[in-house]
Amino acid sequence: MSLADTALRQGLHRVGARPPLWAYLRQAWQRRDFTYAMARFKVQASNERNRLGMLWVVLQPIINAAIYGLIFGLLQGDSRPEDFVQFIVIGVFLFQFFTSCMTNGAKSITGNSALVQSLAFPRITLPFSIIIEQLLNLVPTLGVMVVFLLATGHYPTWSWLLMIPLLVLFAMVTTGVALIGARLTVHLRDLSQFLPYISRILFYTSGVLFAPEKILANYPSLLALYDYHPLHEVLSLARSLLIGAEGAEPLYWAYLSAWSVGLLVIGVLFFWVAEERYGRVD
The parent domain of residue 256 ranges over 19-278
DSSP tally for the chain: helices H, then strands E = 14, 0
How many domains does the structure of the chain reveal? 1
Q: Is the CB of residue 268 less than 8 Å from the CB of residue 179? A: yes
pTM: 0.88
| Any domain includes 2 | no
If DSSP codes are grouped into helix, strand and coil, which group holds residue 279? coil
One digit per residue, the tens of pLDDT, for the chain of length 282 reads: 554 454 445 454 455 567 889 999 999 999 999 999 989 888 777 666 655 556 666 777 778 777 877 877 777 777 777 888 899 999 999 999 999 999 999 999 988 887 887 777 889 999 999 999 999 989 888 988 998 899 888 888 999 999 999 999 999 999 999 999 999 998 888 788 889 899 999 998 888 888 888 888 788 888 888 889 999 999 999 999 999 888 778 899 999 999 999 999 999 999 999 888 886 645
| Any domain includes 57 | yes
What region does 61 belong to: left with phi over 0, alpha with psi -120 to 50, or beta? alpha
Q: Which of 274, 273, 108, 92 is nearest to 175 (CA)?
A: 108
| Any domain includes 263 | yes
CA atoms lying within 13 Å on the CB side of residue 25:
8
DSSP secondary structure of 214-227:
HHTTT-HHHHHHGG
**What is the identity of the amino acid at 102?**
M
